[in-house]
Chain A
Amino acid sequence: MITALFVYDGKGDVIMSKMYKEGVRRNISDVFRIQVISANQKTTSNGSGTGKEVRSPVLTLGSTSFVYIRSGLLWICAVTRSNQDCSMILEFLYKLEALLSALVREGNDSFSKVPLTDELLINNFALIHEILDEVVEFGYPTNLDISGLRSHITSIPNNGNVFKDIKNTKVTASTKKENTSISTLNITWRNGGIKYRRNEIFLKVEEKINVIMNYESEVSRALVEGEIKMKAHLSGMPECHFGLSDDSVFSTDIHSDHRNTGVTLEDCKFHQCVELKRFDSERSIHFIPPDGDFQMMSYRCLQNIHLPFKVNAQVQERGSRVQYKLGIKSLFPSKLPATNVIVKIPTPKGVIKSYSDTTSGKCKYQPDENVFVWKFSKFFGEQSHTLTAELDYTPNTEGGTRNPGWLRPPITIDFELEMFSSSGLAVKYLRVQEKSNYRTVKWVKYSTKAGSYEVRY
C-alpha cells in the first residue's frame, strides 16, 4: 500500500518523513521535490497564472507512484510501488490532514479547520512522528480516529494544548491506562469510559449552494451540497437515532416519476459510525457517535431549491464604454440577515475611468482583479438593491493575436446565511439512549453559504 510518506514545506524541504516498507530508498523524497515541487514553482513564478495547470494528483515513474495533496503551502505525499488502491491513499491523505490539523489546533473553535503550516507541524514534530507510526501498519492505514488513538499515544499528556478537553469538562481522563488492556471494541472511533458532567450534542446543518443563472435570473443549474456536522459531548456509549422531517425522501427510493414537493436528497454519504445496513433496509439513521466533532452525513439536493438571491443583470458595451445595471433581490424571510455579501462584477482589462452608484452597500472598482466589488455588511431578506456602473477602457490592441477581447466571465456572489437551509431540509428528531439514561441537551444550527453562485450575462 503506502511505502513511504513525506511532508514538504512550501520550499520543498522535507519536514516529516516515515518509511513504512522496503522498496524505496529515503532519497526518493528528492525525486518528488525535483519533479513536482520545483516544477510547480517554476511555472508559478514564470507568471501567466498557469501554475495550477502543471498538476495531476498522481505521478508515476517506473513502478513508483507519488500520490499527493496540498494543504495550504504544504505538500503531503505518499510513495507507493506497483498498482495500489489510489482511492484509499487519497482518502488516507485527507484524513491524515484533518487529523493533524485537529492535533495541532490551538484554539477551541472546533468547527473551523486550522490550516496546516510548517511551523505548526515542526512545533509538534515528535507527536506527529509517533502518530504516523500508529495510524499505519506496514503501509496499511488502520485507524485515524483521534479517540481511538488516544489510548496508544504516550506523548499526549505531555502536550497540554493537544487534546485539551473542550469547554465542557470531562470528569475522568480515559487516557492514561498503560497496563490495562487496550480498548479493543470493534468501535475504533470511541473509547469506553467517557464521562461528561453535562451531556450535550451540537448539530450543524451546513449547506453550500451552487447556482448558475442567466441575466434574467432563470436558473440553468442549481445544486445544494449539504453536510450535517455534530459535536458530541456524551457519556458512555450512547446510541443515537436521527431523523429528518417527513417530507424528505431519498431519490433512490422514488419509483416512477412521482413528483415530490418536499426535500429530495439525491444521495447521501454517512460517517463510518452510521449503521449502513439499517439505513438501507429501514431508512433510519442509527449510530454511536465518536467523541467530539465529526461529520455525520453529507448529501446533495437538486430539486425544489430555495434560492436566497436573484440577480438581474444588464451589461451593455458601446465601443470602449461598458454600462452595467444590476438588480439583486433577497428571497429569504425578512428577519434573517445574510452576512458577508460580496458581489463581484467582472470588467474588461485596462479600465481608465469608472463610476458606480448603489442604493445600498459599497461598491468599489478593484483594478488588480478587474472587478467591481459590491459589498454589504448585512443584507436582510425580502429586499432589493440596484447598482448602476459605467466604465471606459482601452481595448488592448498590442500583440493582436493573443488578445481575445473581453470574454464576460460570470458575476459571482458570495454570502453566508444563518438559520436558513436552501434545500429546505429540517432535522426532526435526535434521540440519545444510554444505559445510564441521562438527559441530553441538543443544539441545532442551520447555515447556507455560497459555493459557486454565478450569473452569466
Chain B
Amino acid sequence: MSDGKLFTKSKSVELKAELDQAFKKLKSQNRIKIILKKVIANIVLHNNELVNLMPDIISLMKIDDLAIRKMCFQYLIAYCPLAPKLALDAIPFLNRFKDDISPIMRSLALKTMTSIPIKEFMELSFSTVKFKLEDADPYVRKIAAFSVSKLYQYDAERTEKEGFIDSLNELLYDKNQIVVSNALAALSYITEQSKTLSLTIDKAHSLTLISYLSNTNEWCQVYLLNSLMSYVPSTTNEALDLIEATIPSLQHENSSVVLNAIKVIIYYSNYVKNPELILPSLPKRLGASLVSLLSKPAEIQFLVLRNVILLLLGRKELLNVDVEMFFCRYDDPIYVKDTKLEIIYLLANESNSHIVLRELEEYAIEIDVSMSRKAIRAFGNLAVKLPKSSNECVDCICDLISNGIPYIIQESVIVIKNILRRYPRKFNFAIDVLVKHYKYIDEPDSKTAMIWILGQYCEGIPDVYSIFEEFISTFKEDPIEVQSATLTAVTKYYLKMPQQGEALVLKVLKWATEEIDNPDIRDRGFFYWRLLSSEEANGQNGEFQENTKRIILSNNPSISSENDNIDPNILEELELNIGTLASIYLKPVQHVFRLANRKFLPQSPALQPRPKQSPISSESSPAPDEEDDPAPPPLRPYLNGNQSDNFLHVRRNNSQRSSKLSLPRQASFDSGFSNEEFPAKKGSFAQRLSRKASMITSRKNSTKY
C-alpha cells in the first residue's frame, strides 16, 4: 500500500466532507485513518488552512484507536497555536488520556500538552508533569524528563520556582539507566540556557554513571559522557581513574561517542601532570581512534579532522598520529582535502619531510586547480617551517615552475617570495627560474610578489629593465597593493641601478602623484619623490643617494613560520567543546555563537598549569601593537550573504578582500618603509602563511580577554 497519492495539499472543506462520508460507511476507522494521513501530509507541507478542521479532529479523539489518536495529536501540536480558542476543547481529552492505562497513551498525552504553548495547556502541563516524573513506567518518566525542559523553554522562572528542576535532579538517581541518561540530556538543555544553573555531580555518582556506559545505547552514552564534564576531580588519581574508565568508549562505532569520550579524556587530563607519561599508551589510543573515524562519511571525517587540528594545536603530546593517515584520497571532497592539507602541514617535521614532500608533489600536479595551489602554498610554508628541508622544497617548486603551468607559477611566486625572505641569499637561483616565466603572472598577489622580487634582486636579473617596463605598463589599472609594491620596487631599482632606473621611477612617480586618486598611493609617491630629491639625500661625501638608501634598502626583518602561540584560553575553551560546531570553526565560541555560555576549567587542587607549547621558531613572539593589524576579518564571515554556502571559500574571498583594503599589510614586505612604521608585520605575515591558525590569532587581537 502506498501513501504517495495522499501526499497533496488539501482544503479543509474537502477533508470535512470526506470525514462526514466516512462516518456513514462501514469500517469507518480505516477511512478515517486515510483522511488523517492526508492531514499529516498537510502538516508536512505547511498548509495553515487546515486549522479550520480543528473541531472535527478533536472529536475524532473519541474513537478508541491508538493510531487515530496519535495522528490527532500531531494535528493538535501543529495547529493549536494558530487557533487557541478552538483548541481549548482538546483539554478534556488530554486530561483523560494523561491517566490512561497504557503507558504509550500517557506519554503521548504528556508530549502533546507540553508542545502547545497556550496558557491553558501550560497550566495542565505544569500540574501533570510533576506526577509523571514519578510514573511507574520508565518510558513515561523519560518523556516527563524532557517535558520539564520543554516547560523550561516556555517559562523558565516558573519551572524553577515550582521545583521541577529539583525533581528532574531526582531522576538522576532513577533505577532505570535510560531514564538517568535522558534526564541528563534534558538537564543539559536547561544548563545550556540558564546563566545561573549548572550541573555538578559527586564522585560516587560519576562512577555510577560510568558504569552505565557499558549497557546503554549509543545516544545515552553520549549524554552520560557529557555529564562527566560536570565532575571536578580533586586529586590527580581521581582524574586518572576517570580517564581509564572512559578509554573503552574510544572503541565505539558511533563517532559522537568517540569524540565525546575524547572530550572527557582531554578534560580530565588537565588535572593530571604529564598524563602522557603516566598513561604511555594514551596518545596512541587517542590517535588510533580518531584516525579510524576517517572511514566514516565525508561530513563526519571533516568534523574529526577539524578536531585533530585542534588537538595538534593545543595537545600535541596527547595525540600520536601518523602523517600518512592524512594523505588525501582522489575522491575526498574539497573540504576534507583542505583540512587534511592543514594537518599534513602541522604534522610535518624534519624526519617525515621526505614523504610529505613527495605526497605534496602529487597534489601539486593534480587536475584540481585549487588543490594544486594549496599544495604549493604548503610547500612554501614547510620550507619556512623546516630549515633542513628547505632545499628539497625549493627544488620541488622549481621543478613545478619549469613545467610552465600558469596557476602553478602564480602560486609559486608568492611562496618563493616568502622563502627568499626567510633564507636571504640562499635560494637566489629560484629567481632565475621564475623570471623565465614572468609573462604568466597576472594575479594581484602573485604580481605583488614578483614585483617585490624584482625590486629586491634587480642587480642579479639580466633583463630586469624590460620586465619592469612590462609590469608597470598596467600601473594605472592595477589594484592598490600592486601599485604600492611597484612604487617601492622601482625606487629600489633606481637606487641600485640609477642609469637604467631613472626613466622608470620618474614615470611611476608621476603617475602615482598626478593620476592616481587613492590618497595612500599618492602620499607614498610624494614621500618617495621628496626622499629622492631631498638635499640631504646624498651622503656626506656626495655618495649617490646614500641616506635614501639607508632608509629604503635596509634589511628585511626575517620571517618565521606562523605563530603557534595561540591564546591558550581559547584553546582551552575549544577543548571543552570538542565535537561541537565551534570545533569546526576553530574560533572562540562566543564569536560564532553569541548565545553560548562560556565554558572554563573549574578550579581544583589537582588542576595543572597548561603545558607550554614550544613555538616552532623563537622569533615569533607577537608584535606589541598587533591591534594595528589593519584587517581582522569580519567576525562572522559566514554572514556574508550569498557566499556563505561554503565557508572555506568565503574565508578565502575574505582574506583577499581584506588584503585589498589593507595597504599597511601590503607594506609588510616592502622593505624599509614597513621597518619603522609597521612593526605589526609579523602578525600579518603569520596570517598569510596559515589562514586557519591565524583566524584564531587575529581573534585574539580584536577581543583582548
Q: Is the CB of B300 within 8 A of A90?
A: yes
CA distance A406 to B677 in the complex (A): 48
Q: Is the CB of A60 within 8 A of B581?
A: yes
Interface mask (A242-267 → B, CB under 8 Å = 1, otherwise 0): 00000000011000000000000011
Interface mask (B285-323 → A, CB under 8 Å = 1, otherwise 0): 100110111011111101100000000000000000000
Interface mask (A24-35 → B, CB under 8 Å = 1, otherwise 0): 001000000001
B570-627 residues at the A interface, CB under 8 angstroms: 577, 579-585, 589, 592-596
Interface mask (B372-399 → A, CB under 8 Å = 1, otherwise 0): 0000000000000000000000000000
Chain B proximity of A147: nearest CB distance (Å): 11
Which residues of chain A have C-beta atoms less than 8 A from B463's C-beta?
none
B189 at the interface (CB under 8 A from A): yes
CA distance A35 to B647 in the complex (A): 12
**A271 to chain B: closest residue by CB:** B253
Which residues of chain A have C-beta atoms less than 8 A from B138's C-beta?
184
Which residues of chain A have C-beta atoms less than 8 A from B185's C-beta?
1, 137, 140
B645 at the interface (CB under 8 A from A): yes
Which residues of chain B have C-beta atoms less than 8 A from A376's C-beta?
none
A186 at the interface (CB under 8 A from B): yes
CA distance A228 to B145 in the complex (A): 37
Q: Is the CB of A187 within 8 A of B215?
A: yes
Q: Is the CB of B251 within 8 A of A279?
A: yes
Q: Is the CB of A85 within 8 A of B182?
A: no
Q: Is the CB of B303 within 8 A of A87?
A: yes
B221 at the interface (CB under 8 A from A): yes
Interface size on A, residues (CB 8 A): 110
Q: Is the CB of B645 within 8 A of A82?
A: no
Interface mask (B246-262 → A, CB under 8 Å = 1, otherwise 0): 01110111111111100
CA distance A452 to B332 in the complex (A): 11
A392 at the interface (CB under 8 A from B): no
A57 at the interface (CB under 8 A from B): yes
B370 at the interface (CB under 8 A from A): yes
Given A56-B646, A267-B291, A86 and B584 contact (CB-CB distance below 8 Å): yes
Q: Interface centre among A87, A186, A299, by most B CB within 10 Å?
A: A87
B212-253 residues at the A interface, CB under 8 angstroms: 213-223, 226, 247-249, 251-253
CA distance A215 to B317 in the complex (A): 38
Q: Is the CB of A221 within 8 A of B248?
A: no
CA distance A126 to B596 in the complex (A): 36
B9 at the interface (CB under 8 A from A): no
Chain B proximity of A160: nearest CB distance (Å): 7
Q: Is the CB of B638 within 8 A of A272?
A: no
Q: Is the CB of A57 within 8 A of B335?
A: yes
Q: Is the CB of A407 within 8 A of B366?
A: yes
Partner of A154, one of B67, B74, B592: B67
B residues neighboring A (CB under 8 Å): 1-4, 6-7, 33, 37, 40-41, 43-46, 66-67, 70-71, 74, 101-104, 117, 137-139, 142-143, 146, 149-150, 153-154, 176-178, 182, 185-186, 189, 192, 213-223, 226, 247-249, 251-260, 281, 284-285, 288-289, 291-293, 295-300, 302-303, 324, 327, 329-331, 333-335, 362, 365-367, 370, 403, 405-408, 440, 577, 579-585, 589, 592-596, 636, 638-639, 642, 644-649
Rank and list the top 7 A-B pairs by shortest CB-CB distance, nearest first.
A57-B299, A267-B288, A87-B579, A276-B248, A267-B292, A280-B248, A404-B405
A84-B580, A279-B248, A409-B366 known, 19 other contacts, Cβ within 8 Å: A14-B45, A57-B302, A57-B303, A57-B335, A59-B644, A61-B644, A62-B636, A67-B299, A83-B577, A126-B37, A138-B146, A252-B284, A269-B289, A279-B251, A298-B292, A404-B405, A407-B365, A409-B367, A456-B362
